[in-house]
Structure 1
Amino acid sequence: MEVIEHPVEKLRSALRSTRNDLIQSYGQYSREERRLLEEGLLPGSPLFSPITVHSDSDWIPSHPESPQDFQSFYSNPYRSTPNNGHKTIYIQTIGSFGDGAGISEQYVEWLRAYCQAFYYGLKVKLLPPVTVASTGCSFRVNNNTHNLQLHAGELLSFLKKKKPRDAFCIVGITMIDLYPKDSWNFVFGQASLTEGMGVFSFARYDDDFYKRSYAGRLKKAIKLKPGDYSVFQGYYTPPITSTLLFRSCKTLTHEIGHIFGVKHCLWLQCVMQGSNHLEESDRRPPDVCPICLRKLQSAIGFKIADRYKALLLWIEEAPSSSAQHLSKPTEAFQDFRHWLSKCRSILEDEIF
């Protein structure tokens, strides 16, 4: 186990920059906003902690990367930035979500609303759901886990044709496992940053996925026929639990962050950290560190306090009185709720 602690001056430089114009723009934050952003520079901060590498199988030892400070992010000529004509994130569901149409629609709406709070200032819209067959993508049975998988690259080609003209980006989400090419076992997701597209699977966020009793494991060997999508009719999708919703929200916002040009975070514990496996993904916090927060704020232009308020509202909002609406399972979000409240206290100049 290794704790990665950067010197305070290195963190300060990563946050503020060494360019005079970016230092001046940092000075435009309010005193309270700067206090929050600089909270992560302090050793022993109760809000922002250093990254802990638990084993060689974790992301950082397996994928050596250079850290991206704010200046590197801001200066990247290829990063995508929302503009007046492209300020909408579109979500395209592929295949079934949950047991029954009601829970499927509700779950996807929870994801949409969370994403809109996270990327506060942008609109997030749902496209009409599509079946696996309508994508025309290749599929297979995984030889190790014996579950069905969809070809991620071909799903991206499908999404490219579906991308609305006013989209900042389009992301496809599915409860069916993915693979990028025949030689790979699986992939959580795949994206084309230059095209503003991504596709992600939540299948492996089911607690039972790696168990022999997993209901999505095919009971007997079947010979698949290309183009015969009948195998997906009634195919298992995991129940919508609070943990699954929490993991899905983290993955969705992480991957969209990459479309903004935010690279994997190596500074502090952050939702933009890379992860190699579910255990490591679960250790990631649901929100960004101060350095990545400045990246998103500069790209979107939100007020930091308004964004935290929107995320808190998403967690705390009372369930609808309508019988058609299910109660949002936010048990897994309660630590995040307390964390958001502490951040708001700093922005409101309170002591916690």
Structure 2
Amino acid sequence: MPPSKPSSCSHGKLVFSPSSHATKAGYKEPNLAKRIAATTARGTVVSQTAKKSSVDKTPNRSAFPAPLVLPGDELAWDPSYPCQSFRAWSQLKERNAVTPERRTVYFTGPPDLDSGMEYTRKWSQPRIKRGVKEKAGGFPKTGDVLSYLGAFYHGLPVKMLPAPQICFTSDVDDDSSPPTPQGKGARGETAAPPSPTLWLNTHKPTGCIGIRTRATPKGDFSHQLNLNDLLDAATEILPDDAYALLVLVEHDIYEDEDDDFACGRAYGGSRIAVVSGARYNPILDATQGLERGHAWPASHCERYLQSCLAAAEVDAEDDGGDAGMSDVSDEENTVVAPMHVALSAHASLPSLDSNPSVKALSGLWLGRVCRTASHELGHCFGIDHCVYYACSMQGTASVVEDARQPPYLCPIDLAKILKATGADQKERYEALLAFCEGHEEAHLFAAYGAWIRARLDADR
């Protein structure tokens, strides 16, 4: 866990290598040769000339640091998670190819509410602790999320799902039926016992789809929606020409009865994904132990990492030397270090811990949703969780770890996306930069924009 209280920090030194806890957890970072080979179609670097050329083109640590692997992180729980190289991704039989008939990425925002369903709006409002006076504004705007995904998946059309908008309704067709309480669902899971049901009108001939709910008297929200049922709804509304569909919801969601909550899930083979923005509401940060000042890129701050290790009763002194703690090398000082300019942009904005504006908190919420939405859609492109670098395709074990992860794709996963979308790397970066420059009041996008500029400068 991170420090329980936010503290002022100058972020004087950044960490570009895994922390010492990675070794204790059993994580072994792929070496440079393996990381280079993982970007190639052959999966190898066959000649000394090619090796030298590849090394020369390999971004330094100040652009693409290694995973942090702190206590409680996904890679700390599962340090041997298999790598997925570009070659392995290319040969993946389950991966859907982009075709002329199916090349559009569709997106739809939270379902509308028919008359009589307004009471469910309260379900998406978190229980706020006494003393919390912040107001994070409204839920991220659908158009902003759409624009970000359009830049992230530049090269393919990214569109809103055609009207009419799906909506929760009390006007249920006679032929509609609630989710089956016994047997197997569309994805093969065993259905949960019967529970209160909301009806989602998909405007399809099959009628309304039942979405199970559960009350959470002691939770951060009064009610949650069932993720598996929402995925069934996504399958129902998937257009014929869709490469993939992402459904964004306002409500808190759960996947299995034993889950506290979930933030999203994708079934790449089915070309569907669902993301909830509920847990990313900044109003919940104190409850969830999120330290805003050390979100990416400040998540790589040495002082912060040592405090995380100490808080987890790990001997922080083991992590205080050069092993696992590295700043920009002399060689890297000849160019602008992307992580350092990103950190400068992050630190240049007013603190999010001391009387932040509604606009700043809204930007924080938007950034979190955009990052998770791009991650889940990445699974629809057949991309597995990344273990090579700190990367937007990393797995995450908590919302705390989620906030530490970057918005960019590492060189290996970027190669996959460029192949799938047919996009040019420079044009893709420029599209993302244009989005970031339109949202520079948000710490994440200000930092990401600075990082992109440094990457573009380095490639000139």
What is the TM-score normalised by the length of structure 2?
0.59
Matches within 5 A, 1:228-267: 241-267=362-388
Residue number in structure 1 paired with 2:58: 38
Deviation at 1:333, TM superposition (A): 1.1
- Identity percentage over the alignment? 25
Counterpart among 292, 312, 316 of residue 413 in structure 2: 292
Give 5+ residue unaligned stretches, structure 1.
214-237, 318-326
Residue number in structure 1 paired with 2:31: 7
Aligned CA-pair RMSD:
3.0
Matches within 5 A, 1:135-284: 135=200, 136-147=210-221, 148-209=223-284, 241-284=362-405
Kindly indicate whether the alpha-carbon contact (under 8 Å) linking 2:83 and 2:388 is maintained by their aligned counterparts in 1: yes
Pick closer, same or farther for the CA change 1:182–1:341 going to 2, 3 Å.
Answer: same
Counterpart among 99, 116, 131 of residue 83 in structure 1: 99
Deviation at 1:5, TM superposition (A): 4.0
Q: Which amino acid aligns with 1:11?
A: R
Deviation at 1:61, TM superposition (A): 2.2
Q: What are the superposed Cα offsets for residues 62-104 of structure 1, whole Å, 9 maximum, x if unpaired?
A: 23411111111111111122211111111122247999xxx97
Matches within 5 A, 1:24-103: 38-39=58-59, 42=60, 45-55=61-71, 57-63=72-78, 64-95=80-111
Distance 1:72 1:302 in 2: 20
The number of residues matched between the two structures is: 299
Counterpart among 93, 108, 132 of residue 142 in structure 2: 108
Q: Which amino acid aligns with 1:82?
A: V
Kindly indicate whether the alpha-carbon contact (under 8 Å) linking 1:89 and 1:168 is maintained by their aligned counterparts in 2: yes
**1:130 aligned onto 2:204:** no
Distance 1:118 1:149 in 2: 29
Counterpart among 117, 126, 133 of residue 151 in structure 2: 117
Q: What are the superposed Cα offsets for residues 108-147 of structure 1, whole Å, 9 maximum, x if unpaired?
A: 1011011010001111111244333452311112254152
Distance 2:46 2:263 in 1: 37
Distance 2:139 2:251 in 1: 17
Residue number in structure 2 paired with 1:347: 459
Residue number in structure 2 paired with 1:337: 449
Q: What are the superposed Cα offsets for residues 15-43 of structure 1, whole Å, 9 maximum, x if unpaired?
A: 225458x989xx9xxx9xx789621xx4x
Pick closer, same or farther for the CA change 1:211–1:308 going to 2, 3 Å.
Answer: closer
* Paired residue secondary structure (2:68): strand
Deviation at 1:316, TM superposition (A): 1.6
Runs of 4+ in 1 over 6 A off after TM superposition: 96-99, 103-106
Worse overlay, 45-54 or 59-68: 59-68
Give 5+ residue unaligned stretches, structure 2.
1-18, 23-27, 113-120, 126-136, 170-198, 201-209, 289-357
Kindly indicate whether the alpha-carbon contact (under 8 Å) linking 1:16 and 1:23 is maintained by their aligned counterparts in 2: no
* Paired residue secondary structure (1:271): coil
Which structure is larger by alpha-carbon Rg, 1 or 2?
Answer: 2
Pick closer, same or farther for the CA change 1:105–1:8 going to 2, 3 Å.
Answer: closer
Distance 1:144 1:131 in 2: 28
Kindly indicate whether the alpha-carbon contact (under 8 Å) linking 2:107 and 2:159 is maintained by their aligned counterparts in 1: yes
What is the TM-score normalised by the length of structure 1?
0.77
Distance 1:146 1:169 in 2: 31
